Structure 1
Amino acid sequence: IAKLLIENGADVLASCVAGESPLDRAARGGHDKIVTVKLLVERGANIEYRDVNERTPLISGSIHGSKSIENLLDAGVDINAFDKDGGTALHWAGHNGHETVVKQLLASGA
């Protein structure tokens, strides 16, 4: 569905009333969102977008243990960005017990 919407002019830079971007929402998802994240990044979505909690898509994905963060890391996202509470992607992945994401972040330089 995301591909269809984007191909028909959906704004990849839009945000909802809660301050979340399409990339932020996709980054939280599981395997089915990996392609969506890649497509959004390829179409110019802001990989450093900040929501109302100052969380980037990488932080949001790490909070939820999402494998889709790989595409964000490949795109050159700031791996050490922090949210309004000072939490980084590595902090949140560890806090929530997402060992695979912790390993991926450490291997990428966090």
Structure 2
Amino acid sequence: YNETALHIAMDSTTERNLPIIELLLAYGADPNHESKDGSSLLHLAVKRGKMKTVGVLVQAGTNRAALDREGRSPLHLAAADGHSELVDLLCLPEVLNSPDKDGLTALHLAADRGSLTTVRALL
């Protein structure tokens, strides 16, 4: 399945495994390892709305510009789900205006969702 102990720790629906994630990272677990579908751990944390986990992964040096198979960065996913509180952590010049495979930027996705707060955070 190409999953690591970090992926298993991320599988929880809550952030109760955050201490385990921090411990695994402290012992050298790769925060940039991709799952079988091409998603990074950061993609997974953003999709699940795990704000604290996103912060820990960013501090661990995870690649915030990583693209999944759809050409979406974690910023795209945060915008699509209306996670405006994650925009500052994930916003990089190289991904802010980059389109996914459908030609959509994070701003397009936030506007399509109708998330004014996220749109403002991206501007």
Pairing 1:41-60 to 2, within 5 Å after superposition? 41-60=58-77
Give the superposition deviation at 1:63: 0.7
State percent identity of aligned pairs.
Answer: 37
**Runs ≥4 residues deviating over 4 A:** none
The 1:80–1:98 alpha-carbon spacing in structure 2 relative to 1, beyond 3 Å, is same
Distance apart, 1:87 and its partner CA: 0.3
Higher relative contact order (CA 8 A, sep 6+): 1
Equivalent residue letter for 1:43? A
Structure label with greater radius of gyration: 2
Gaps in structure 2 of 5+ consecutive residues: 1-17
Letter in 2 for 1:69: V
Q: Secondary structure at the match of 1:10?
A: coil
TM-score (ref. length: structure 2): 0.74
TM-superposed deviation, 1:56:
0.5
8 Å CA contact 2:58, 2:64 repeated in 1: yes
Once the two structures are superposed, the pairs formed by residues 1-110 of structure 1 within 5 Å of their partners are 1=18, 2-30=21-49, 33-66=50-83, 67-73=85-91, 78-106=95-123
TM-score normalized with structure 1 length? 0.82
